[in-house]
Structure formats: C-alpha cells, structure tokens
Structure 1
Amino acid sequence: MITVLPQVTALPGVTANPLTGVVNMLSLSFIQYALIAGTAVALLSGLVGYFVVLRGQVFAGDALSHVAYAGALAALAAGIDLRLGLFAATIAIGVALGVLGGRGAADDVIIGTTFAWVLGLGVFFLAIYTTRAATSNSAANVNVLFGSIFGISPAAATTAAWVALGLIMVLLVIARPLLFASLDPAVAAARGVPVRLLGPLFLAIVGATAAEASQIVGALLLFGLMAAPAAAAQRLTDRPWRALGLSAALTVAAMWAGIALSYAAPALPPSFTILAIAAAEYALAALASRRGSSRNHPHLSPATAAHTI
C-alpha cells in the first residue's frame, strides 16, 4: 500500500560531489524501494507503450489512465484496498473497449463515450469519498492523481515488481503475433493469428499497466510514461524489435533520471521530473529524426515487416 513520507526539509545525501551524492542516495531505503518499483513499472510501461503507439491506440491508453483514477476513487469510497479498484476497473474497461470496438481494436467513438462516462464516475466517487472521509481525502486524492513513488512501502515495492514481471511475461508471450496483427491485421488474420482475441487481451494488459503505473507517477501523468519514450523509439528506428527494446530502455532511463533529479532538487516532485525527462527524450528524438530525414533510410513497410516477424 502507498504510504506518505514525513516532510523532509533537507536530504542528507545531497552533496557537491556527484559520486558521493549517488552513493548516499542509493543508501536511502525510500530511494531503494522507489528504484525497485520504478524500474519494474518503467520496463513494463516501455514495452506496452511501444505497442500502444504502434497500434494507434494512444486515445485508448489515455482513457484507461482516467479509468485508473475513477477505479481508485471507487475503492476508496467503498473502503477497500485502492489497488483492487485500480486493477478491476482498468482491466474490465480495457477488455470492454477491445470487444466493443470490433476486430480487436478500440473504436474512437466508444472510447470517447467511455472517457466521458468514466470522468463522471470519478467525480461521483470523489464526492462520496469526500463526504465519508473529509479529514483525509485531500492527501489520498493527490496521491491517486500524481503518485507517491518516494512514499512506497517495501511490501508495495516488491508487489509492484512481481506484478510488472508477470505482465511483462504475458506481453512477451504474445509479442510476435501482436506485432504481426499490429502491422498488418488483415494478413495476420488470413494466416490464422487470433486478431480479435489479441485486441481485448492487449487492452487488458494496457489497463493493468495503467493501474500499476498510477501508483508510481499518478493517474493523470501515467500515460506520458507509456507514450513519450515509445514515440521517441519509433522516431529513432523503424525496426520493430529494436524499437521495442529501445522504448523499454528509454522509459527506464527516464525513471532513473527523474528519481535522481527529484532527489537532488527536493522542490521538484518525482512525477514531474520523470515525465519531463520522458518528454525531453521524445523532443530530442524528434530533432534527431528530422536531421536524419535527408539521409536515405530504408522504410520497413508492413508487408516487409511481416516477413521479419
């Protein structure tokens, strides 16, 4: 469960010597727990985010981030574990979006309708929770919205790592057919790939990833962790497997750098620094791809990619 650290006026590990500062930082237990949970969630978000961007389901991922907020508030209003609401809501809505969209892909009209409905539910559950827990609702609401990676407990960090590992394994099992279905769904279906099944299954994984990542960077910001590094990876290479690995690496780098920057500058919230670095990665990748656009890079078409999968 997420806990809130007591207010710290100064961090004893911050020094003028960078190497000493890193050693001191890594010796702090709350940094260790943040790195354990953050690395696992970042690796998962990078892998899932690549497929989200590749499949053009950015809007669906954004909607599921708001589902995470509504689900967490529903759990708080019901007086149960916040994580139960997070995972139940995001996975259920993810599957529903995939099934209702047809051909295993989420439809924009359905996503938009669900988006509006979920936001209304979030306001409803927030009103209930505010009435029942007026003294503590503000802190809990802020944690749901913006995360609390520096306040994560040892048990929660371990759980987050195991859950992320499980989801990564599921994603890797379906990665090859999912990539085929993402690049050319018609040809994939003709070759016997279960495209209609893969769509809802993948969106369920996206929902679970949203639930997991919301505990780290918050429901409002979590989709930036999935979208920005993945989009940067796509800018830097058109080779699917290379881009998948690069997306994961960039997301983990953003997580580590964001944690370190927030530690060095305590006035900056970790969620802000993590997402700012992820956005900077995309900006730099966009600039690099523009500079290299004049060169002759072979473009990997869906038909060609199908033979490389």
Structure 2
Amino acid sequence: MHGISELSFAGASAALLLETNVVAGSIVGSLVAVGAIGVLGARARDRNSAIGILMPFGLGLGVLFLALYKVRAANKFGLLTSQIVAVDTPQMTWLLSTSAVVLVALVVMWRPLSFASADPDVAEARGAPVRGLSFAFVIVLGLAVALSVQVVGALLALTLVVTPAAAVARATASPVLLPLLSIVFGGILLALGSNIPISPYVTTISFTIYAVCRLVGKYRTRRLGARRTAPQPA
C-alpha cells in the first residue's frame, strides 16, 4: 500500500514535469508499483523487502521530478498534501471515470473476494480463483491509491485508505456496513468549505473515531467475558 502511494506520487510528479495529466501519471505510477510488487514480491517472504525498496525509490523519484519542475510551487506542495478544492475539471473527469472502474470491479468480484478473504484454502478448494482475485484486487487497490493521492496527497494516502476502515472494523463485522461507514468516517466532505488542506481532517477525525471504537470494543469484550465467567444460577 505504501509502496504504491510512493510510486503514484512519482508518476504524478513526472506528469507534472512533462505537463501532462497528473491523474493519469498517478494511475500509471500505481500500476507500475503493482506490477513491481507482483514480480519482486512473488513470494510472501520477499514482499516486505520489495515494498521497502519501492518506497524510497518512488519518493526519491518524485522529489527529483518536483525539483526539476520550476513553474508553480503550489502544484508541488499539492502532490504531497493536496487539497480537495484544487482538483480541476480535467482531473475530475479522470477521477470520476477511474472511480467508476473501481466500483464496478468491486461489485463484480465482491462475493468471491469476500469468500477468499475469509478462508482462502476453502475458497480455492471450491474452485474460486484465489490468485486471480488477489491480483485483481491489488490492481483495484492501486487505482484507489492513485485517486487518494489526488485528494489527500501522497504522504497521507495510507491514512485515507486504512484508518477509517480500521475504525469501522472495531464497530462492526458486516462486510456491507464496513465500506459504507468507512466513507463516512473519512471526514472528507468537511474540507470542502475550508482553506485548510484535507489531510488534517482525515487524520484527526479518523484517528479519533478509531480510538473511540477501540475503547468501545474493549469494553464490549470485557462485558462479554464477565458474562461468560459469571456463575450460572442453579
């Protein structure tokens, strides 16, 4: 995930330097990262090393491209932290079309992907294409990261994708409610009427909700444990 965001940042920076579509460059960078992780991290024990290699490489390339870009400093800062009101019409077209692709792909593979995520061995025994689903999901994740970079910037794309879902997972185990509540917990819409970048909203709100959900989860676990250990009436 982090390796994808860094190469997405590098692709966006390269597109900015070449004066082409930044969203398209970000998507290309994400897909390159997905392919590199798939090749370098084919074995599970090599995956962390591959991601550790890609992260500084992508960040270094992005910083190099930004250093070579001498036109507008605001664009440079936006790729790192971003601001939702800075997305222009051409970028919005790319964002909407890519979002549609991501949503359609998730709808198509939702049931087999949920099955494979819950129990990959049983799913594979039942004929589910576990490896193909895993590869397809990584591609969809790469596209989602490319979209996140345009909204919150490369530095905090991980927060937008991971923290709201981690908070919701403490409150519900429903595979339907989890993605829906993750959107609500992100706090993106609060940044529409503000001059402050979106990153502080996403990080602060999602972390606060995560902390609250974690405390509630611990409280519920303790109550459940107390009920189980309580002596039963004769």
* Aligned position for 1:282: 210
In structure 1, C-alpha distance between the alignment counterparts of 2:67 and 2:180, rounded to whole Å:
42
- Where in structure 2 are the equivalents of 1:149-164 lying within 5 Å? 149-164=84-99
The question of whether the paired residues in 1 share the 8 Å contact of 2:2 and 2:51 is answered with: no
Query: Cα distance 1:207–1:104, how it changes in 2: closer, same or farther (>3 A)?
Result: farther
Who is 1:123 aligned against? 63
**Displacement of 1:233:** 1.1
The residue identity in structure 1 corresponding to 2:91 is A
Deviation per residue, 1:10-67 (Å, 9 max, x gap): xxxxxxxxxxxxxxxxxxxxxxxxxxxxxxxxxxxxxxxxxxxxxxxxxxx1221111
Corresponding residue of 2:10:
70
Alignment of structure 1 residues 124-139 onto 2, 5 Å:
124-129=64-69, 133=70, 135-136=71-72, 138-139=73-74
Structure 2 CA distance for aligned equivalents of residues 99 and 246 of structure 1: 34
Once the 2 structures are TM-superposed, how far is the Cα of residue 249 of structure 1 from its aligned partner? 3.5
Separation (CA, whole Å) in 1 of partners of 2:130 and 2:166: 23
Offset, 1:169: 1.3
Q: What residue number does 2:192 align with?
A: 259
Q: Structure 1 residues 86 and 272 mapped into 2: Cα distance closer, same or farther (>3 Å)?
A: same
Task: Tell me the distance in 2 between the aligned counterparts of 1:246 and 1:209.
Answer: 17
> How many aligned positions are there?
225
Query: How far apart in 1 are the matches of 2:19 and 2:77?
Result: 17
Kindly state the Cα deviation for residue 181 of structure 1 after the two structures are TM-superposed: 1.8
Please tell me whether residue 112 in structure 1 is matched to residue 52 in structure 2: yes
RMSD: 2.4
Partner of 1:250: 185
Judging changes above 3 Å, is the alpha-carbon distance between structure 1 residues 80 and 162 closer, same or farther for their aligned structure 2 residues?
Answer: closer
- Inter-partner Cα distance in structure 2 for 1:178 and 1:74: 34
Q: Which amino acid aligns with 1:256?
A: L
Residue identity matched to 2:109: I
Q: CA deviation at 1:72?
A: 1.0
Helix, strand or coil: the match of 2:68? helix
Q: 2:219 aligns with which of 291, 297, 300?
A: 291
Q: Give, as a single letter, the amino acid of the residue that structure 1 aligns with 2:86.
A: G
Spell out the pairing of 1:12-27 with structure 2 (5 A cutoff): none
- In the superposition, relative to structure 1, how do residues 223 and 237 fare at CA in structure 2: closer, same or farther (>3 Å)? same
Aligned to 2:76: 141
Q: Which has the higher contact order (CA 8 A, sep 6+)?
A: 1
Q: Does 1:85 align with 2:18?
A: no
Moved more, 148-157 or 192-201: 148-157
Indicate the residue corresponding to 2:230 in structure 1. none
- After superposition, the Cα gap between the structure-2 partners of 1:103 and 1:289, relative to the gap in structure 1 and judged at 3 Å, is same
Which residue identity is paired with 1:188? Answer: A
1:85–1:154 distance in 2 versus 1, CA, 3 Å: closer
Unmatched segments (≥5 aa) in structure 1: 1-60, 298-309
CA deviation map 1:88-144 (0-9, x unaligned): 110221233235433799821221122232223223323333xxx2x42x2111011
Query: Which of residues 185, 201, 206 in structure 1 aligns to 2:120?
Result: 185
| 2:22–2:91 Cα contact (<8 Å) kept | no
**Helix, strand or coil at the partner of 1:230:** helix
Cα distance in 2 between the residues matched to 1:280 and 1:185: 33
Q: Matches of 1:151 and 1:269 in 2, distance apart?
A: 10
Letter in 1 for 2:17: A
Provide the rounded CA distance (Å) in 2 between the counterparts of 1:255 and 1:121. Answer: 28
Amino acid at match of 2:173: D
- Where in structure 2 are there 5+ consecutive unaligned residues? 226-234
Match of 2:198 in 1: 270
Q: 1:170 to 1:103 in 2, by over 3 A?
A: farther
